[in-house]
Structure 1
């Protein structure tokens, strides 16, 4: 006797599939046309992303720089604990050949990559391996008239100082904001005193174009030995981007927080938390922690480092935890799952402070080629199926598969 055929309702099938990793869903695209089209619907993409958020399925990328070949690349780290895992793979993005792109993000699993010295930017979805090169800016940068010198100055340099990627829920649009520093000089003088002007440019994925927006009175001051990228990788929370800034007024040097709302495209200024001590003695890095804006504070110079993490909710700052006396650590890289803190020491070794056991572990990630300590950065993101109308990476850009000497326990 033939058994009756049992079929699951399509809604239940889609709910089950929405809990699978992107790699599996990519393979299932060939099962049937219905599945393939369903995976691209806004509802399925949203359900899939929110499931990863709810279950904290965090993914980690370590941006690195090969000091011998001058080639930037990204190491994708394992995200499973309790078992020794190798670095999954090392990826080189060809658009940024022989340059070190700064990484800004993540927003809904998307990362913004930008070369600060050139008008080269891209959006990257590391889950789907989709890569979109952004068009160059068409914004005019005319000569500047200097009242002091009573002449027009020539544009000498353009520097893209800082950036962020975010989502505008009102228009269902992904946007990138970047700060542009323009340097003008008197071309008729040998030793001309430079004059700096600032612009702010906003990119829309929907229109695939840049536009200029009014520049605020303050500009980001995310600096660490001349590196102007956010040191902990992410500064976007619920439609708003954040940066450190400061006043430059005489006898009124204060730290502040600059924010930008992707929806109304307006800037705001927030006070830095009062718990921060002397700005000369402590670093303050903004970051995203468990979906909220946080600040990690650590001394500028000390043999044994300590770290305080504060998180804000509706304008109220609350101290989450304190890590005391970690010897040999240079700076934090960022947080992984469950509050685990990644650090880098004076030997360029990547360490993990386990928040649950209060233990410090050496991850044994091979860093012998990373001769530029401050080019190493950690970037966390949740898997996403968001399409960006870009091109697909090809396997030849996976430049070096992991070996047994490159391993970690995270």
Structure 2
């Protein structure tokens, strides 16, 4: 009888115990770690975590989204989880969660479902696993005027890394002082580093690093795919004219590269990026944008550009949004949020007639579905409402 069989108390083969545990939700597994040392060792094993996460990505009950909402009133920010197991009559249920408490401000997320919180004012950074409730605090760095954090996973070291970008003003060059902003980058390896490590942001492109433009990568979204964090930025050439790009940060080797946006959108304003999102679709980087008629009437369209990494080119798909739901989009175009679900479909969260709705698009069948969202009724909805949507995956990967 091996360790897993002893832990179960019966003569059950180890592979059966492994399969049973891999199908349980993370919160249950956290409790089971207290049953015995063999159970704790199995659940903490990296190979088990990989299998558990892979299953979660395919199950509607374990792959969902995290919705963050702050109302114009001075009430605390609220966090809700939402999975895509529909209730009768096309209804989805949002469930309130503590994350990690009401005073936190959501900064970023990774595709593994880990999230970075920042306490304001001048509080600590926190990495939190919503599934297990585990959290760790990161050391503070010197205060900068702008500071953003992103997280990714290094498969070689089997550790999570946090990338921080901060800016400072007034750059001096050759005795001349010109108004501008310079961006520096630090990395913190969770469970290894005791302090932040500054890294070189060198890139062969002449307009890199990030100078001359106040905003770094983060107009609306970022996504982590297979060891790379992708995010928006507005880079500048020597003529100081900003052009939008995507920055790719290799988590393992801690290096940057630049991806040019599709020709149709590369010269458009940053406001266009605020109406779009970077997502993982079919294992590839995708840029999603919803186009609305100028007069706010008629059909809306969703453009999806997927990045073919081997060919270094974009492939475009245009989806027509059915007229009955285009009316919803026309009235809430500035209040759209994007994500994906367990089935690789694109998910749109929107507000219409003071209610939250979910639209789901299947790119393969070109079919659309609409769901009402219950559990979010306690907010005075309006244009000033601050809300975000992030992918959430149930998993037991330890942070340290």
Superposed pair shares fold, TM > 0.5: yes
Following TM superposition, by how much is the alpha carbon of 1:167 offset from its aligned partner in structure 2, in angstroms? Answer: 1.3
Q: Summarize the Cα distance change of 1:24–1:290 in structure 2 as closer, same or farther, 3 Å threshold.
A: farther
Match of 2:69 among 64, 68, 76: 64
Matched, 1:322 2:314: no
Following superposition of structure 1 onto structure 2, how do residues 339-354 of structure 1 map, counting pairs within 5 Å?
Answer: 339-345=345-351, 349-354=355-360
SS in 2 for 1:235: strand
TM-score normalised to structure 2 length: 0.76
**1:307 maps to 2:302:** yes
- The change in CA–CA distance for 1:208 and 1:306 in structure 2 (over 3 A counts) is farther
In the alignment, is residue 386 of structure 1 matched against residue 386 of structure 2? no
**Structure-2 residue corresponding to 1:133:** 137
Quick check: 1:241 aligned with 2:229? yes
Gaps of 5+ in 2: 1-8, 172-176, 203-207
> Structure 1 residues 352, 121: closer, same or farther in 2, change over 3 A?
same
Is residue 2:161 matched to residue 1:164? no
Shift of 1:77: 1.9
Match of 1:259 in 2: 248
* Separation in 2, partners of 1:117, 1:228: 22
Shift in CA distance, 8/90, structure 1 to aligned 2, threshold 3 Å: closer
Alignment of 1:50-129 (within 5 A): 50-55=54-59, 57-83=62-88, 84-94=91-101, 97=103, 100-102=105-107, 104-114=108-118, 118=122, 120-129=124-133
Could you give the per-residue CA deviations for residues 258-293 of structure 1, whole angstroms, max 9, x where no partner exists? Answer: 111111111111211224376148444322234321
Residue number in structure 1 paired with 2:186: 201
What's 1:368 paired with? Answer: 379
Per-residue displacement from partner, 1:184-210 (whole Å, max 9, x unpaired)?
59xxxxxx9965332111111122421
Question: Paired residue for 2:6?
Answer: none
Deviation of 1:79 (Å): 3.2
TM-score, normalised relative to structure 1: 0.75
Shift of 1:70: 3.4
For residues 92-114 of structure 1, the C-alpha deviation after alignment (integer angstroms, 9 at most, x for no partner) is 534x72x6332x12243322223
Query: 1: distance between equivalents of 2:50 and 2:198?
Result: 31
Deviation at 1:175, TM superposition (A): 0.6
Q: Write out aligned runs for 1:180-191 (5 A).
A: 180-183=166-169
| Preserved CA contact (<8 Å) 1:116 1:159 | no
Shift of 1:385: 0.6
Query: What is the RMSD computed on CA atoms of the aligned residues?
Result: 3.5
Query: How many angstroms apart in 1 are the aligned matches of 2:228 and 2:75?
Result: 35
Is 1:276 the counterpart of 2:287? The answer is no
With over 3 angstroms needed to count, the CA separation of the structure-2 counterparts of 1:213 and 1:220, relative to structure 1, is: same
Match 1:47 to one of 51, 62, 83: 51
TM superposition shift of 1:18? 0.9
Structure 2 Cα separation of the partners of residues 159 and 113 of structure 1: 18
1:291 match: 283
In 2 relative to 1, CA 52–101 (structure 1 residues): closer, same or farther, beyond 3 Å? closer
Q: 1:184 to 1:213 in 2, by over 3 A?
A: same
Corresponding residue number in structure 1 for 2:200 = 214
Deviations 1:301-354 (A, max 9, x none): 842543212222323423345143433122431124241422323656322113
1:355 corresponds, among 342, 354, 361, to 361
Aligned residues: 356
Q: Return the offset for 1:220.
A: 10
5+ long unaligned stretches in structure 1: 140-156, 186-191, 390-410
Three-state SS of the structure 2 residue aligned to 1:39 is helix
Is this contact kept in 1: 2:286–2:307, CA < 8 A?
A: yes
| Alpha-carbon contact 2:111-2:223 (below 8 Å) kept | no
